[in-house]
Amino acid sequence: MPRWRLVAYLAAALVLMPLLVLLLSWQSVDTMIWSHLLQTQLFTLIGNTLVLVGGVGVGVILLGVSLAWLTSLCEFPGRRLFDWALMLPFAIPAYVLAFVVIGLLDFAGPVQTQLRAWLGSDFRMFPIRSTGGVIAVLILVFYPYVYMLARGAFLAQGRGLMEASRILGHSPWQGFWRVALPMARPAIGAGVALAIMETLADFGAVSVFNYDTFTTAIYKTWHGFYSLQTATQLASLLLLFVFLALYVERRAQGSKRFPGSDKPRQGPLYRLRGPLAWLACGYCALVLAVAFVIPVIQLVWWAFDSGVADFDSRYWRVIRNTLLLGGMAALITVGVATLLVLARRLQPIRRVRSAVAVANLGYALPGSVLAVGIMFAFSFLDNQLLIPLRQWLGNPQAGQLLMGSLFALLLAYLIRFMAVAYGPLDTSLARIRPSLPEAAHSLGQSGWTVFWRVYLPLLLPGVLSAALLVFVDVLKEMPATLLMRPFGWDTLAVRIHGLTVEGEWQRAALPALTLVLVGLLPVIVLIRRSGRGVRH
Amino acid sequence: MSVTRTIAVVSLALTAVTGVAQAQDKELVVYSSRQEHLIKPVFEFYTAKTGTKINYITDGEAPLMARLRAEGVNTPADLFITVDAGNLWQAEEMGLLRPVKSEVISANIPSQYRSSNDQWTGLSLRARTIVYSTERVDPATLSTYEALADDSWKGRLCLRTSKKVYNQSLTATMLETLGQERTTEVISGWVANLEVPVFANDTALIEAIDAGQCDVGIVNTYYFGRLEQDRPNLKAKLFWPNQEDRGVHVNISGAGVTKHAKHPEAAIAFLEWLTTEEAQRIFADVNQEFPANASLAPSEEVAAWGEFKADTINVEVAGRRQPEAIMLMDRLGWN
């Protein structure tokens, strides 16, 4: 079936286009800027970046896995609520949580001001604008990746497995460490990989904290030294980092794949009682409060404080644009990612595997750099191919086709968020036993029928998670949207950008709040649908 | 030939989908890094006045310049609006703009706020000046930017990050007037006097002064103006430094007509109008800035901060010496 191979190559080519633009930047090197970077900041920046990635990586594993374990396998007061509510922080963009946390907790913010009023004006709290502060914010924003994927894995493991481990003399604790956790490792790994890629690419949150990372150096080189070329070179080095991270993740996982259980578990495995139950409840409540409830209350407060005057009739158009873009991008991206996952499964030859790996690279680059790469690639196509072609076809007035078109923006989203859709799809495909499609084939069914009637129904939970992740990510995406949107296609993220750039943080609360609310709807719908157990 | 035909069909289909508008006379396309809420009132006024429809995209200046460069001859943009002379100078360096010889513009805007090759002009002015705590600072102890490097300000000075172009331009003009050695001394002194990590924006810095975390800082006037409006009891005031020598550091927001503009006449007409009193009033007042048109007095709230002597150095310096300024700040640990 050569067509599978073709799909993988095409997707890889699409992502390679902007990456090639990045690599082309190495044609010449600005020694002045490079030697300055090497002499002053580069090693500090790399150190800072590693600290950030390490801290966030460990944090999202601890938070994501422990919460997933509690809500998917235990029973305690409030579990049903936390089950879906713990996904909610995912709807808050990192840059929004960053400015809320600083607005709330910095020296001039309400918390410290109140504390000084009580404890005397010499009172000093720990500095929130610090390495610890920025790591905490990113953990709170990115743990849902791990939570969601780990939860799916724990639910799919089925009850029989843990029961067997207990019959064999494992304590619940041992069962978790020796059976459940190793089996969920691919899913957890995929979640952590997404969180780490987001961290590497993050510019919004770190710049609110003024924490210098590799990404901020890229921006500084571009915006300050006006050297887009050197910035692109730095970005391609960042890609090396990502390659390494992904490689380590793949190697660590090896080729272990665990088919899911045929009988998803009904009912909880552990009924927590007494203080333990309340401890679990308190822990979940604390995370939810810090990562979601308190920030949202603060946003509501600001939104009313700065007046709802900004909420004009055009707001509905902005909301509509935001939803449309998110929806269309989710459809396209999940469609392509599904084909990729299948291609890798059905033709696992080295070349296809590499193509698939390449197709997933767009996520780790700082959005702005990737956006510029895509823009140069599309402009090149416009100028060198499409416009001359249309002039030759008899349209002397031909203008740009790709640049400034909706199509180009959607392609940019596809390139950027392929990995986000790929992760959940890959883990849910891994749980489909090869014997199922084999059986279908032996019954004389063609490839397409098997796809429609065997794979797709089984993939559905993965498809839904993937669509949700992409949808919310597109809502939050800023640089590519800013750079490539057609005239008049302003989104909520564009509104937030316009205000925060001007330092109008409180006025940005209204679009930020709207963005969170709009992003919540699908999160709630989806999480509630996938309730207990896995649907077939 | 089937490939060509396919592309042709796809291309036609795309045209239908994207609805690429063909050039009309009464239309303009603007790329602006001055944000929407600060330009829309001016655009709407002009459209109502002349019937010219204005399409615009807002983004950061660097991405917009990259886009202009990538689009080249085929760019739809007619006008580029941005803040900070450094950025305008860079757009000119990159060959994105065209010279516009206009008597209207040169009569309305003083020459130190325009490109020496007529490729761009300033439209509004903002002063980057000292802000101090009314509770803990006697304004008599304030004198110059440089004096903030003295030991008496140890642990009392707060600054915004050096990543913001406003601080880069301030440092670049200091390099030009004071020279490398003196500027190095001053900035080292500033960094040594910092008590808390630098702030990500001016507003946060003024709030920190109000709350008692810092005593003095350096900010753009309009940030102060905005906060003053929100908080009538703000415990901070502006101070005009260097009145005995070069004057207060002033920067601009401005615009230029793009090199490959599709509607150059309309773009020039609009740019000329932007320098007239009618437009200057809206353009400056919407952000509490000073009009670049010298015949116009600033708005009441801006005038309330008092008269001051402004640095008359040509703002192009900010662009020319920007890389040097950033390297200096990096070396001295102003992050």
The pLDDT value recorded for residue A18 is 85
pLDDT digits (tens, 9 = 90+) for A72-89: 888 899 998 898 899 889
Q: Which of the given ranges, A11-25, A314-328, B121-135, has the highest pLDDT on average?
A: B121-135
Q: Which of the given ranges, A96-110, A315-329, A432-446, B146-160, has the highest pLDDT on average?
A: B146-160
Same-domain check for residues A118 and A262: yes
Residues in B closer than 8 angstroms to A112, CB to CB, are 211
Looking at chain A, the number of H-run helices and the number of E-run strands are: 26, 2
Instruction: Tell me whether residues B330 and A379 touch, CB distance under 8 A.
Output: no
The CB density around residue B103, as the number of other CB atoms within 10 Å, is: 8
Instruction: Tell me whether residues A479 and B63 touch, CB distance under 8 A.
Output: yes
Q: Is B31 marked as binding a ligand?
A: no
- Of residues A525 and A119, the one with the higher pLDDT is A119
A500 has a pLDDT exceeding 60 = yes
pLDDT digits (tens, 9 = 90+) for A391-447: 787 776 667 777 778 888 998 999 999 988 998 888 888 877 778 878 887 887 777
Locate all alpha helices (DSSP H) within A291-386, ordered by sequence.
294-305, 314-346, 350-359, 367-381
Mean residue pLDDT of chain B comes to: 91
B318: closest chain A residue by CA: A224
The pLDDT value recorded for residue A323 is 92
A533 has a pLDDT exceeding 70 = no
Same-domain check for residues A319 and A292: no
Q: Does the CA dihedral B323-B324-B326-B331 come out positive or negative?
A: positive
Window A:468-497, CB contacts with B under 8 Å: 479, 482-483, 485-488, 490, 494
Min mean pLDDT across A264-268, A373-377, B18-22, B254-258 is at: B18-22
Q: Does the CA dihedral A66-A71-A72-A76 come out positive or negative?
A: positive
Q: Which one-letter amino acid corresponds to residue A528?
A: R
Instruction: Tell me whether residues B36 and A498 touch, CB distance under 8 A.
Output: yes
Task: List, as one string, the DSSP characters of B153-174.
Answer: GTTTEE-B-TTSHHHHHHHHHH
Q: Assess if residue A528 is contained within a domain.
A: no
What does the angle CA A486 – CA A488 – CA A491 come to, to the nearest 5 degrees?
90
Exposure string for A61-81, b = 16+ CB within 10 A, e = fewer: bebbbbbbbbbbbbbbebbee
* Gap between the Cα atoms of B17 and B286, Å rounded: 37
Task: List, as one string, the DSSP characters of A401-424.
Answer: SSTT-HHHHHHHHHHHHHHHHHHH
Domain architecture of chain B: domains with CATH: 3-124+251-297 (3.40.190.10), 126-249+309-331 (3.40.190.10)
H or E stretch covering B130: strand B121-133
Q: Assess if residue A66 is contained within a domain.
A: yes
What does the angle CA A502 – CA A508 – CA A511 come to, to the nearest 5 degrees?
135
Phi, psi (rounded to 5 degrees) for B313: -60, 145
Which residues are CB-neighbours of A89 under 8 A, at least 6 positions away?
A: A97, A140, A141, A143, A144, A288, A291, A292
Residues in A closer than 8 angstroms to B318, CB to CB, are none
Residue B163 C-alpha, separation from nearest chain A C-alpha, in angstroms: 7
B1 has a pLDDT exceeding 70 = no
Q: How far lies A466's CA from each of A89, A195, A268, A330, A426, in Å?
A: 17, 15, 26, 8, 10
Min mean pLDDT across A5-14, B28-37, B317-326 is at: A5-14
Instruction: Tell me whether residues B29 and A487 touch, CB distance under 8 A.
Output: yes
Q: Which of the given ranges, A296-305, A465-474, B33-42, B119-128, has the highest pLDDT on average?
A: B119-128
The pLDDT value recorded for residue A259 is 57
Inform me whether the C-beta atom of residue A300 falls under 8 Å from chain B C-beta atoms. Answer: no
Which of A226, A393, A482 is the closest to B63 by Cβ?
A482
B229: closest chain A residue by CA: A306
Q: Assess if residue A140 is contained within a domain.
A: yes
How big is the A-B interface in CB pairs under 8 Å? Answer: 166
Residue A224 C-alpha, separation from nearest chain B C-alpha, in angstroms: 7
> Which two three-digit tokens encode residue A525?
């719908």
Q: How far lies B224's CA from each of A306, B234, B290, in Å?
A: 17, 10, 14
Window A:115-134, CB contacts with B under 8 Å: 121, 127, 129-130
Same-domain check for residues A92 and A19: no
**Mean predicted confidence (pLDDT) in A519-536:** 61
B122 near B114, Cβ under 8 Å? yes
The pLDDT value recorded for residue B27 is 92
B4 has a pLDDT exceeding 60 = no
Same-domain check for residues A313 and A164: no
Phi, psi (rounded to 5 degrees) for B55: -95, 140
What does the angle CA A49 – CA A54 – CA A496 come to, to the nearest 5 degrees?
60
Min mean pLDDT across A335-339, A479-483, B305-309 is at: A479-483
First-residue to last-residue Cα distance in chain A? 27
H or E stretch covering B152: none
Inform me whether the C-beta atom of residue A391 falls under 8 Å from chain B C-beta atoms. Answer: no
Inform me whether the C-beta atom of residue A503 falls under 8 Å from chain B C-beta atoms. Answer: yes
Q: Which of A455, A470, A468 is nearest to A529 (CA)?
A: A468
Instruction: Tell me whether residues B204 and A404 touch, CB distance under 8 A.
Output: no
**Mean predicted confidence (pLDDT) in A307-322:** 80
Same-domain check for residues A23 and A122: no
A529 has a pLDDT exceeding 80 = no
Same-domain check for residues A263 and A279: yes
Query: Which residue, A273, A305, A337, sits at the end of a domain?
Result: A305
H or E stretch covering A31: helix A31-40
Residue A306 C-alpha, separation from nearest chain B C-alpha, in angstroms: 9
Residue with structure tokens 């500090």?
A44
The CB density around residue A351, as the number of other CB atoms within 10 Å, is: 12
Locate all alpha helices (DSSP H) within A347-455, ordered by sequence.
350-359, 367-381, 387-392, 406-430, 435-442, 447-450
Residues in A closer than 8 angstroms to B39, CB to CB, are none
pTM for the full model?
Answer: 0.87
Residues in A closer than 8 angstroms to B34, CB to CB, are none
pLDDT digits (tens, 9 = 90+) for A354-375: 888 888 888 877 787 788 888 8
pLDDT exceeding 90 applies to what percent of chain B? 86
Min mean pLDDT across A319-323, A381-385, A448-452, B290-294 is at: A448-452
Domain of residue A198, CATH code: 1.10.3720.10
Q: Can you state the angle between helices A367-381 and A406-430, rounded to 10 degrees?
A: 120
The pLDDT value recorded for residue B51 is 94
A159 has a pLDDT exceeding 80 = no
pLDDT digits (tens, 9 = 90+) for A103-136: 999 988 888 888 888 888 787 778 889 999 999 9
Residue A53 C-alpha, separation from nearest chain B C-alpha, in angstroms: 21
Q: How far lies B101's CA from each of B12, B116, B269, B272, in Å?
A: 40, 11, 12, 11
Q: Which one-letter amino acid corresponds to residue A483?
A: L
pLDDT digits (tens, 9 = 90+) for A190-224: 899 889 988 988 888 998 999 999 888 888 888 88
Q: Which one-letter amino acid corresponds to residue A359?
A: A
A409 near A484, Cβ under 8 Å? yes
The pLDDT value recorded for residue A531 is 52
Min mean pLDDT across A298-307, A506-515, B294-303, B325-334 is at: A298-307
Which residue segment(s) compose the domain that A457 sits in? 1-40+307-501
A389 has a pLDDT exceeding 50 = yes
The pLDDT value recorded for residue B10 is 44
**Mean predicted confidence (pLDDT) in B29-50:** 94
Q: Which residues on neighbouring strands pair with residue A484, listed in sequence order?
A: none
pLDDT digits (tens, 9 = 90+) for A256-272: 555 555 455 556 677 88
B104 near B268, Cβ under 8 Å? no
Q: Assess if residue A535 is contained within a domain.
A: no
Mean residue pLDDT of chain A comes to: 84
Same-domain check for residues A455 and A471: yes
A123: closest chain B residue by CA: B213
**Mean predicted confidence (pLDDT) in A50-63:** 96
- Of residues A100 and A522, the one with the higher pLDDT is A100
Site from A387, A502, A510 to mutate, B interface, most B CB atoms within 10 angstroms: A502
Q: Does the CA dihedral A105-A107-A112-A113 come out positive or negative?
A: negative
Phi, psi (rounded to 5 degrees) for B76: -80, -10
Q: Assess if residue A522 is contained within a domain.
A: no
The CB density around residue A207, as the number of other CB atoms within 10 Å, is: 21
Residues in chain B: 335
The pLDDT value recorded for residue B247 is 96
Q: Assess if residue A510 is contained within a domain.
A: no
Residue B103 C-alpha, separation from nearest chain A C-alpha, in angstroms: 32
The pLDDT value recorded for residue B19 is 39
Same-domain check for residues A33 and A124: no
B98 has a pLDDT exceeding 60 = yes
Give, as one character, the DSSP assignment of residue B197: P
* Gap between the Cα atoms of B130 and B253, Å rounded: 20
Instruction: Tell me whether residues B327 and A401 touch, CB distance under 8 A.
Output: no
| Residue A254 pLDDT grade (very low, low, confident, very high; cuts 50, 70, 90) | low
Same-domain check for residues A446 and A494: yes
**Mean predicted confidence (pLDDT) in B96-100:** 97
Q: Does the CA dihedral B198-B204-B207-B211 come out positive or negative?
A: negative
* CA diameter of chain A: 81
Q: Assess if residue A512 is contained within a domain.
A: no
Q: CA torsion, points B82, B85, B86, B87, in degrees to nearest 10?
A: 20
Query: Which residue, A305, A328, A354, sits at the end of a domain?
Result: A305
Q: Assess if residue A521 is contained within a domain.
A: no
Residues in B closer than 8 angstroms to A379, CB to CB, are 67, 70-72, 74
Instruction: Tell me whether residues A106 and B204 touch, CB distance under 8 A.
Output: yes
B300 has a pLDDT exceeding 50 = yes
- Split into its structural domains, chain A has a count of 2
Same-domain check for residues A257 and A311: no
Same-domain check for residues A277 and A320: no
Which of A40, A113, A399 is the closest to B20 by Cβ?
A399
Query: Which residue, A278, A305, A332, sits at the end of a domain?
Result: A305
The pLDDT value recorded for residue A379 is 83
Min mean pLDDT across A20-24, B86-90, B274-278 is at: A20-24
Same-domain check for residues A288 and A428: no
Residues in B closer than 8 angstroms to A25, CB to CB, are none
Q: Does the CA dihedral A430-A434-A439-A444 come out positive or negative?
A: positive
| Residue B154 pLDDT grade (very low, low, confident, very high; cuts 50, 70, 90) | very high
